Structure 1
Amino acid sequence: MDRYNADSYPDPTAAEALENVMREEKVKCYKPCVFICSPFAGDTEKNLKKARKYLKFAVEQGTIPFAPHLLYPQVLDDSDPEQRKLGLFFGMVWLRKCEELWVFGRNISKGMQAEIDKASKHSIPIRYFTENCREVQKI
């Protein structure tokens, strides 16, 4: 930000005002990144449909959601233990980049529990929702 006027004299007031306007605009555009945590294994068809619903819900709430179980199974074989392990690792890396973990549903799988534990360990806020996207708890 240029702190000098057209005559090259210091002009901190104008520079500060412009910085404040830019900061306010940034706040208006801000959308937090949230990690979507829901079951994948088992009835994968049904679970993927639910995950898409949760992702859409998060978008409607004004967030930038990430659901690794919608992404990595497209290129990794979940039935192969090594590829599953790799996909879970990728998800954990993304979890650390997110500001919140949103957990959906009552049934917590082993993979979901690992994500919850990781979020807790790194003080990432956790929000719990029902399968119908109603918030029931915030930690």
Structure 2
Amino acid sequence: MRRAYICSPLSGNISGNIENAKRYARYIFKCGMAPVIPHFYALVLNDEIPDERKLGMQAGLSLLWVCDEVWVFGDEITEGMKKEIIFAEKLNIKVKYISEKELKKTEVI
């Protein structure tokens, strides 16, 4: 199964953004791919502690090596997301953008 890395906001509203990552993972499954979800590192690391945030970012970037694509979700691109996108492009990994509008078309009400 091909793997898609979830690239979306985390900082700020961490619990809400983790819930969004779950939505994005379901979308990726519906598209026939396996989601790679770096957001779950925030469940064991404290994103508000700079060294732990850095560790989580490094761990997330290391996952890109095994991904086939990076899917950028939402209508906002944060600084952390920019780093993921740039790194993916350096690795020649396809980057796909999915807006909230596009995502909502596929969700069941």
Deviation of 1:46 after TM superposition, in Å, equals 2.1
Partner of 1:86: 55
Deviations 1:45-68 (A, max 9, x none): 322221110011101111111111
1:64-92 superposed Cα distances (whole Å, 9 cap, x missing partner): 111111x2111111111001100000000
Mapped partners of 1:125, 1:56: distance in 2: 20
Q: Which residue of 2 is the match for residue 66 of structure 1?
A: 36
TM-score for both structures, normalised by structure 2: 0.89
Q: Distance in 2 between matches of 1:109 and 1:115?
A: 10
The structure that has the greater radius of gyration is: 1
Partner of 1:41, secondary structure, is coil
Pairing partner for 1:48 from 9, 18, 38: 18
TM-score, normalised to structure 1's length? 0.71
Count how many residue pairs are aligned between Structure 1 and Structure 2.
103
Quote the residue 2:64 is aligned against.
95
Flag the structure with more relative contact order, 1 or 2, with Cα contacts below 8 A and sequence separation at least 6: 2
1:113 aligns with 2:85: no
**How far apart are the structure 2 equivalents of 1:99 and 1:45?**
27
Amino acid corresponding to residue 58 of structure 1 in structure 2: I
Gap runs ≥5 in structure 2? 105-109
| Gapped regions of structure 1 (runs ≥ 5) | 1-30, 135-139
The share of aligned pairs that are identical, in percent, is 38
- State the one-letter code of the partner of 1:34: A
Cα distance in 2 for partners of 1:99, 1:67 equals 14
Q: Which runs of 4+ in 1 moved over 3 A?
A: none
- Match of 1:102, SS? strand
CA RMSD of aligned residues (A): 1.2
